[in-house]
Structure 1
C-alpha cells in the first residue's frame, strides 16, 4: 500500500490536483500560492465548514468517496441557500501519514464529482499531517446580480415550503448506529446527501422571501428563519412529505433529522408552487416554531449540546 507519508506532501498535492477538472469560474487553479476566481457580480458568497473523523463521519460507515461527496454537498448547499450559484471549493485536509494515497484520491474524486453536480470546481487548498482526519471546506458562490436570499425575509401571511428529501439521512444514521444494513436507500442517504442544487434559483424565480439549507433538522432551521425574521412559523404535521420508507418514526426524522440538505423557504400567500415544493405551513405573528399549534423547543443538531 502506497502511503501519504511515503509519497510526501508535494507528491500528494500533485497526485490530487490532477484529479480536479476546472470550471469556467476558475482563472487560475491549483499550483500557485492562491487560486484566482472570477467574480462577475463583484460580490462573493462565502461559507466554510469542518468535518472531523469520529464526529461527522466514521471510516467504518463511509468510504472516502462518500465522505468527499458529503463534504462538498453540505457546503455547496449553503451557497445555494443564499440564492447563489456555487463556483469553487477550497479544501483543507489533515490526515495521518499512514493513510493510503488511494484513500485520499477517492476522497478527491468524491469532492470533484459532487462539485460537477452543482457546476462548481475544487480550485485549491492545503494538506497537513495530523493524528486524525479533518476536512475543512470553504465554498464560494456568485449571486448573478441578484440580492441574497436570507433568513430574515419571512413575513406574516406567507407560506412555508420544503424542497428535497427530508428525514432520510437521520433514519440512515439510526440504522447504522443499530448495526443494521437496510433499507439501503436510507443508509445511502446518510452517506451521500443529494441536495437539489437547482432549488436556489428556482426559489428566487418563484418569489421566495427567505431560504435556508436544512442541515440541523427542519424545526431547528425553521427556528432560525423565525428568529431572524421576527415571526412565528406554524407547521402542519399532516402536510409534511414523510416517505413511507422512513417507517413508524418517519415524522420525527422529517421534523428533527438533519444532513439531508433539503431547502426550506417562505413564499408570498397565494404563490403557485411546482410539485417539487411541498407547502408544510405558514408564517404568522409571534415567535418560534409550532407543530399543529404546539410550540417546539430545541429539536435538532447542536455540536455543543450533544
Structure 2
C-alpha cells in the first residue's frame, strides 16, 4: 500500500474521502474549499478536541481503527451532552510521512463507523505531515429548536444520575500500564469508549436541569456542574455502579477515571429519571462535591500534569 508520504497529500485525501459516506445533514462534503452542513435549528452546537500520540493514545496499545473511533466518540459525546443531535465531524489528521497508508485508512474507517453509530458523518478536514500522530476533531450538532442543556441548571433538591460505563477505561489503562493483558473487556474500554448516544435525548425528555459528558472523572466533572450552578453535589458511593470486573479499586476508578464518556445529569426532585439511568446522589445548598459526606478521592485526568 505504501506510505502516506509516498502517496502525497492529494492522493491521500482522495483515498481517505472515498471511505466516507456523507449523512443527510452534509449537503456538500469533502472535495471543495469547505463543507456545507444543514442547520435546521438556525444554531450550531460546536466542540473541538485534540488527540496527541503519547498523551491520549499509544500506538503499541491501540490500533488505528480504535483510535479513530475514540477520537470521534469523545467529540460526539460533547455534542450529545448539550442535548443536541450530532450532525458532522471535521478532522485534521497529522502524521509522520512514513506512516502506512493502510494505517490511515483504518483510522478513517474508525472515524466513519463511530459517526454512523451516532447518526453523524465526517464532512471534511485536512492532512499534514508531523513528527507524531495528532488528530484535531471538530464536532457539530443541531438542537432541534430546544434550549441547550448546560452545566448551570442544577438546583437544590434535584437528583443526580449517570448513564453509561464508569471506570472501565481507567481500569483498562491501569492494566496496560502494568503490562497485563486482561480482562479484555477493560482494555477494550480504554481503546474504544462506547458513549450511550441516546443519553441527551433521554435526559431532555425527562426534564433534566443539567447535563455533561463524563470525560475527566465523575467527581471532577460533577464539580463542573456544582461550580456552574452554585450548588453542592452529594454522592452516595453505595449507589455508584461498580461492576465486579473493575476489581478492588473499582470505586476509585468509577469516581475518578475518565474517558468512558458516560453522562451525568441532574433531574428535578419530582422526576423519575429514565430506567437506563442510575441515581447516585442529590443536589444541595453549598459548593463542591462530597462523597458520603466527605471530601472525594483525587486523581482525575489533567491535560497539563505537573
Shorter-normalised TM range:
over 0.9
Cα distance in 1 for partners of 2:40, 2:298 equals 40
Matched with 1:5 is 5
Alpha-carbon distance, 1:299 to partner = 3.9
Q: Unaligned regions of 5+ residues in structure 1, if any?
A: none
Q: TM-score, normalising length from structure 2?
A: 0.99
Matched with 1:43 is 43
Matched with 1:203 is 203
Matched with 1:64 is 64
Q: Over residues 106-154 of structure 1, what are the superposed CA-to-partner deviations in whole Å (9 max), with x where a residue is unaligned?
A: 0000000000000000000000001111000000000000000000000
Q: Secondary structure at the match of 2:302?
A: coil
Matched with 2:216 is 216
Matched with 1:176 is 176
Q: Secondary structure at the match of 2:225?
A: helix
2:155 and 2:283 in contact (8 A); partners too: yes
Q: Secondary structure at the match of 2:249?
A: helix
1:1-306 pair list within 5 angstroms: 1-296=1-296, 299-306=299-306
2:255 and 2:297 in contact (8 A); partners too: no
2:252 and 2:297 in contact (8 A); partners too: no
Q: Secondary structure at the match of 2:89?
A: strand
Cα distance in 2 for partners of 1:273, 1:56 equals 33
Q: TM-score, normalising length from structure 1?
A: 0.99
Alpha-carbon distance, 1:251 to partner = 0.1
Cα distance in 1 for partners of 2:199, 2:49 equals 21
1:50 and 1:137 in contact (8 A); partners too: yes
Alpha-carbon distance, 1:162 to partner = 0.1
Cα distance in 2 for partners of 1:296, 1:172 equals 22
Cα distance in 2 for partners of 1:124, 1:169 equals 29
Cα distance in 1 for partners of 2:98, 2:297 equals 45
Q: Over residues 204-232 of structure 1, what are the superposed CA-to-partner deviations in whole Å (9 max), with x where a residue is unaligned?
A: 00100000000000000000000000000
Cα distance in 1 for partners of 2:245, 2:264 equals 21
Cα distance in 2 for partners of 1:275, 1:204 equals 14
Alpha-carbon distance, 1:58 to partner = 0.1
Q: Secondary structure at the match of 2:181?
A: coil
Q: Secondary structure at the match of 1:266?
A: strand
1:154 and 1:229 in contact (8 A); partners too: yes
Cα distance in 2 for partners of 1:200, 1:187 equals 26
Cα distance in 1 for partners of 2:64, 2:272 equals 41
Change (3 A) 1:247 1:293: same
Alpha-carbon distance, 1:293 to partner = 0.2
Cα distance in 1 for partners of 2:298, 2:228 equals 16
Runs of 4 or more above 4 Å deviation? none
Cα distance in 2 for partners of 1:126, 1:136 equals 9
1:66 and 1:191 in contact (8 A); partners too: yes
Cα distance in 1 for partners of 2:124, 2:228 equals 34
Which stretch shifts more, 289-298 or 24-33? Answer: 289-298
Q: Over residues 231-271 of structure 1, what are the superposed CA-to-partner deviations in whole Å (9 max), with x where a residue is unaligned?
A: 00000000011011001100000000000000000000132
